[in-house]
Amino acid sequence: MIDPAVEQMLRKDPKSYVIPAEVVANVTATNTLEHALMVLSKVGYTRIPVLDADDHLQGLLPLAAITDQLLKVPGAAVEQLSNYTVADAMRPVEHWVDDPARLETILSYLVDEPFIPLIDEQQVFQGIITRREILKRVNYLAHNLDENYEVIPRQVLSDNID
């Protein structure tokens, strides 16, 4: 369990650490891998969500999955990626949250993943929670804890009681 004081400071206004769907680069399963490679190169991210026409989250597309696909075909050139679609290379979404306030879950997922998708009850994609946004909160906590709480080492407390 996260310490309540820490949680209160990290979790202040949870929506503010969500990058909204409108600004998250994405592809659809029917896009060609050539198109997906262009999108990834243009935005500069190494992994982006795959959405359907109704904005449901279908999977994740890492850049490495495209290069894997390319390497399966001996001597293949980038143009041959137009013969494959995102559906051929995308990976399943293993972790997501439906509430940005689920900080304990989010922190444990972000140890291994660069971002966690946020979806609603209908699995419609709402945005992502990135390591960067959460680390900004941790940085704030590290610098401002003593403005909000008085932190006294346990040893000092027990010495005063004795």
Q: Does 109 bind ligand 2BA (CB under 6 A)?
A: no
Which C-beta is closer to ligand 2BA: that of 23 or that of 151?
Answer: 23
Q: Does 20 bind ligand 2BA (CB under 6 A)?
A: no
Q: Does 19 bind ligand 2BA (CB under 6 A)?
A: yes
CA distance 38 to 108: 32
Q: Does 39 bind ligand 2BA (CB under 6 A)?
A: no
Paired tokens of 47: 């992994």
CA distance 110 to 158: 36
115-119/57-62 β-pairing: unpaired
Q: Does 96 bind ligand 2BA (CB under 6 A)?
A: no
In this chain, which of 5, 43, 73, 78 binds ligand 2BA, going by CB under 6 A?
43
- DSSP letters spanning 75-115: T--GGGGGGSBHHHH-B-----BS-TT-HHHHHHHHTT-SE
**Which stretches of the chain bind ligand 2BA, using CB under 6 A?**
19, 23-25, 43-48, 114-115, 128, 130-132
